[in-house]
Amino acid sequence: MRFKYWLIGNPLHTVQAQHEQVSVFIGLGAFASDAVSSVAYATEEMLLVLVLVSSAVNFGPEIAALITGVMLLVIGSYYQTVHAYPAGGGAYNVARENLGVYPSLVAGAALVVDYVLTVAVSVAAGIAAITSAIPDLYPHRVALALGVVTILTLVNLRGLRESGRLFALPTYVFIACVLWVVGAGMARWLTGGAAVAGVAEPVAPVGTVSTLGVWLLVRAFASGCVALTGVEAIANTVPAFKEPAARRAGVALIWLGVILASLFIGITFLAFELGIRPRPDETVLSQLGTSVFGPGLPYALLQISTALILLLAANTCYTGFPRMASLLGRDKFLPKQLAHVGDRLVFSNGIVILGAAAALLLLIFQADTHALIPLYAVGVFLAFTISQIGMVIHWRRAGSPGWRWRAALNGIGALATGVVLIVVASAKFVHGAWVVLVVIPLLVWLFVTIHRHYRDVDWQLKISPDAPLGALNHTVVVPIPGITKPVFNALQYARSLSPRVRAVYVSLDDQETKQFQALWMQWNPGIELVVLEAPYRAIVGPLLEYLTIVEGERHDDLVTVVLPEFVPRRWWHHFLHNQTALLLKGALLFRKNIVVIDVPYHLHQ
């Protein structure tokens, strides 16, 4: 425990929960890092498709404008959700109240998948930014990625306020650097100046628009839609803001929309105007920085801030995923342990699970951003669509002033995100999106199975309030290895439970058994001694067989096993002694009508 507290900090009192909430400034920096970081690779993902056909590149600005329109529409829709559901939970809570259990589980599963993928993609993209600047680190990208996930997990285990303050600064530094690049690039473009550095040659085209048709533009749109990922995070974590939480979360969402649209449009516009094309060894944003700034301090600052924001973008998920898992745990669709707040007033179990799942993905896909991206965005757009449909029903039921235009806004948002979902799923299906479309139903099945288990347990544990407490008859069995102080204490305790006490000794050696029986007769504690033969020199097996015989002797009896056990003072002393009591407790755990009581005797040294 001392090591744990050194690692994540001392426990926080429950009354300190309100002090762990964050302001708009900290909340925007911490919870919007995922959405803001997506502009670092959204344009590149769109260009990777468009460069396949030379004339298709001309449609890039129009596609970017369409993506920006959908982005602002979704943010506007979530602004309404924040005020309608100030308890947070986003798509899951909205769907559960307005659409029913199964749509809410689909939304929950989609968000769970999206959060895990976001951590993996963000960390992989951040490592890619580092290896773009330092190519010698490329062979070590997987180890670096796993190290980053470990650090993120530990920092978030320390608490929301600490992680928020730590991760907000890199978000604002990145925003400032990209605005600097966009502003400087726009100034050169408006004044007719040229970029300060040459740009890499475009990738050679392999066809024409007539060859691939509209489908290529559709794929480019689907790839660029990763710019929308993360915009739901603020709606999912409203309670993390200081009161009035809903108003502060709404303000943060508005600022997020302004910042996100400005950065995405600016990066995309300059990339097309300067003829920047994707390269395997350097990101588009890095090429843009080189083109505008040239080598030097401004470019280095841009790369450092990009790497940091991509690495820390995963921090948004370390807030959203545990809260989502806690809601599912509260409703008994995930283990209840996920609903409990840990020592540092955060959902520690959810944080650990998220880190482990993301690390596993990074290992499987070797921290390759382009391999992970096709799995990305399907889940988030599914959650977007379900949430907006649920909000339409919410406004209709509420019937409050202005409900028609509010319902219309959410309806348009649902239509837009639904179309994007179909497009993204279709365009990325063969490239890996099918995995997500399989995993989400499996998660829903898991949720239902867990809920069924809890329902059955509740039914079996339920008892009538007027059930009388009756008397119990005990037969107490005390396994003993010899005549020792722990055995003396256990037998004394057993006699306080029932007059029917049996001491059971398992014979492993005939000579030792005769000596023990002689000592027992000399001691004469007035308790029946039963000696069991162990021809195979095992202790647990003969004891279990004897307990079966005792169970069959009386049908109105409860068999109680009292275990004498000494407890060494130091943890490593346990390895110097056999663990018969532990093995017997494990074996009896699943035996009905047998109660196991441990009587410990603590050694002084």
More confident residue, 295 or 250: 250
403-452 pLDDT, tens digit each: 888 888 888 888 888 888 887 788 777 767 778 888 899 999 999 999 99
Whether 490 shows a pLDDT value over 90: the answer reads: yes
Kindly tell me the burial class for residue 553, based on how many C-beta atoms sit within 10 Å of its own C-beta (0-12, 13-18, 19 or more): exposed
Is a pLDDT exceeding 60 seen at residue 493?
A: yes
Q: 2-456 in CATH: which number?
A: 1.20.1740.10
d(CA 352, CA 350): 5
Position 279 pLDDT exceeds 50: yes
Instruction: Return the CATH number of the domain spanning residue range 474-602.
Output: 3.40.50.620
Q: What pLDDT score does 203 carry?
A: 42
Please tell me which residue, 561 or 56, carries the higher pLDDT value: 561
Q: Which of 602, 563, 600, 568 is nearest to 584 (CA)?
A: 563
Show the DSSP H helices in 213-276 as ranges: 214-224, 233-236, 245-273
CA 179 to each of CA 41, 183, 194, 297: distance values in angstroms, whole numbers, following the listed order: 16, 6, 19, 16
Q: Is residue 196 very low, low, confident or very high in pLDDT (cuts 50, 70, 90)?
A: very low
User: Would the pTM count as exceeding 0.85?
Assistant: no
Report whether 162 contacts 311 (CB < 8 A).
no
Which of the given ranges, 2-11, 49-58, 124-133, has the highest pLDDT on average? 124-133
Q: What is the mean pLDDT of residues 162-188?
A: 81
> Given pLDDT bands bounded at 50, 70 and 90, which one contains residue 197?
very low
The closest alpha carbon to 230, from 263, 183, 276, 272, belongs to 263
3-12, 85-94, 147-156: range with highest mean pLDDT: 147-156
Distances (CA, A) of 521 to 77, 305, 513: 84, 81, 12
Give the integer Cα–Cα distance in Å for 455 and 440.
23
Q: CB within 8 A of 458, min separation 6: which ones?
A: none
% of residues, the chain, pLDDT over 90: 15
In the predicted model, what is the mean pLDDT of the chain? 81
| pLDDT of residue 124 exceeding 80 | yes
Question: 181-185, 319-323, 412-416: which has the highest mean pLDDT?
Answer: 181-185
Percent of the chain having pLDDT more than 70? 87
| pLDDT at residue 479 greater than cutoff 90 | yes
- For residues 286 and 6, the model is more confident at 286
Out of 75-84, 221-230, 241-250, 255-264, pick the least confident.
221-230
Strands 528-533 and 594-602: unpaired
Q: At residue 525, does pLDDT exceed 90?
A: no
Res 10: pLDDT = 57
What pLDDT, in 10s, does the model give residues 401-417?
888 888 888 888 888 88
Q: Does the structure show a pLDDT above 50 at 17?
A: no
Domain definitions of the chain by residue range: 2-456, 474-602
Does residue 212 register a pLDDT over 70?
A: no
pLDDT at 141 over 80: yes
For tokens 């005990």, what's the residue?
A: 474
Cα–Cα nearest to 262, from 376, 196, 180: 180
Give residue 53's pLDDT: 63
Residue-level pLDDT at 89 = 58
Q: Using one digit for the tens of pLDDT, what is the confidence trace for 95-110?
A: 888 998 999 999 899 8
Of the ranges 283-292, 385-394, 495-504, which one carries the lowest mean pLDDT score?
A: 283-292
User: Mind giving me the DSSP string for 33-82?
Assistant: HHHHHTHHHHHHHHHHHHTTSGGGGGGHHHHHHHHHHHHHHHHHHHHHHH
The pLDDT value recorded for residue 40 is 80
pLDDT for residue 83: 82
